[in-house]
Structure 1
């Protein structure tokens, strides 16, 4: 019975310590790129690999098709259609 009481006290102490520790932590903020101002951005799919990238970071060809990087734009230009 004595061991159950000690275990109970330890569990309550751990629970109190954990709740106090979580309350004191500052809220986490998502990393934001400079210049976005925390605004939501439209996502577009790369024409080559279908990876989604923010519209402002997409590389576009002369027809306006989005690519995730200059390398995929180069590969698309090299591929005959």
Structure 2
């Protein structure tokens, strides 16, 4: 009886291991990002001129006067309220 339970446990572990790995052989979990992958480096941060939220410059919206905003809606509303 103990042998059957041991074999069943090993089978369950092997199935978890097999289906928990990526199909391309990288060993990463499917659909997830590698948490230790190096980023492209530090990005400049800017503050929204309307609400003050800080966000990466690449995600911000700039108006004609050089002010940065977190969204098109805040750009349309203008500076601080």
For Structure 1 versus Structure 2, the TM-score category normalised by the shorter chain is: 0.3 to 0.5
Larger gyration radius, structure 1 or structure 2: 1
Higher helix fraction (1 or 2): 1
